[in-house]
Amino acid sequence: MRKALLAIFLLFSFNLYGAGAKIDIPKYDWSWKGFFGTYDRASAQRGLKVYREVCAGCHSMNYLSYRNLADLGFSEDHIKAIAAEHLVLDGPNDEGEMFERDGIPSDQFVNPYLNENAARAANNGAYPPDLSLIVKARPKGADYIKALLLGYVDPPENMKVPKGQHYNKFMAGNLIAMTSPLSDGLVDYDDGTESTMDQMTTDVTTFLAWAAEPSLEDRKRMGLKVILFLLVLFVLAYISKQQIWRNIKH
Ligand code: HEC
């Protein structure tokens, strides 16, 4: 018994001390939070632009196909045009050879690198993770992603940042192999929105949150229906009970 208690104690203390200094992630307002929240489509569309023009240089999004973008309000023609901007490796053809063709809506998002080794070779040995599920894959999800993108500050004076690493307030251990990918005005938004750091990080995070959980709105709608159904059922059950017991003396 004592050993078991000790083991449990150690388990928890490792958890506490192993994590290093605690990093407080700020909380941001997100359109999809709360019971009736939905993804801000305009923001997610701008976020796609940020992803395609900046992040897609290094990060894949394997679980997304171009046709999924219909959910963000893109028209079929627009999606065809977006897909066609990418070259897709297809095949083998009748001669057994792989060939390249223009992308079509049913293709998955095209990878920036042929394989993991190529990705590492281009990034000082670090691997840029696939971003399809990154919002689900990190504690504090969207808040963390936005904070991380805004978290590049000067390192404390006594700290030496190794070559190929960068100081980031919100990365675990404060060192990250990715340079700050964004800077004010980097992306030219089609809808005239000013592309400040704050705007771009909100937009790209909204897009990534949608990608990680496109069914969130359906889930909330279903939840609402279930609760309404239960309410009606409760009222019916209550009335029936009153009816059945009405003539019975207590
Ligand atoms: C020049 C290449 C490059 C670009 C462009 C880039 N990244 Fe990265 N990113 C990396 C690398 C390399 C890592 C791995 C860092 C590490 O493990 O230290 C990374 C890691 C990440 C992580 C994971 C951090 C963690 O907690 O492990 C996120 C999230 C991320 N990038 C988001 C983005 C977003 C969003 C963009 C576009 C705005 C972007 N990146 C653009 C190279 C890039």
Choosing from 58, 120, 179 the residue with most ligand 1 atoms within 8 A of its CB, the one to mutate for a pocket test is: 58
Instruction: Please state the rounded mean pLDDT for residues 174-193.
Output: 96
> Could you tell me the end-to-end alpha-carbon distance of the chain, in angstroms, rounded to an integer?
53
Under a CB-based contact definition with an 8 Å cutoff, are residues 63 and 133 in contact?
Answer: yes
Under a CB-based contact definition with an 8 Å cutoff, are residues 46 and 193 in contact?
Answer: yes
Task: Give the pLDDT score at 247.
Answer: 86
Task: Name the closest-CA residue to atom 6, ligand 1.
Answer: 55
Look up tokens 């019916």; give the residue.
Answer: 236
| Gap from CA of 56 to ligand 1 centroid (Å) | 10
Q: What is the mean pLDDT of the chain?
A: 93
Under a CB-based contact definition with an 8 Å cutoff, are residues 204 and 149 in contact?
Answer: yes
123 to each of 110, 113, 118, 131, how far by Cα in Å?
18, 11, 9, 16
What's 108's DSSP letter? B
pLDDT in tens, 119-159: 999 999 999 999 999 999 999 999 999 999 999 999 999 99
Task: Name the closest-CA residue to atom 38, ligand 1.
Answer: 55
- Tell me which residues have their CB closer than 6 angstroms to ligand 1: 50, 54-55, 57-59, 123, 126, 128-129, 134, 138, 145, 148-149, 176-178, 181-182, 204
What residues does 89 pair with on adjacent strands? 100
pTM of the entire structure?
0.88
Under a CB-based contact definition with an 8 Å cutoff, are residues 147 and 25 in contact?
Answer: yes
pLDDT in tens, 88-119: 999 999 999 999 999 999 999 999 999 999 99
What residues does 87 pair with on adjacent strands? 102
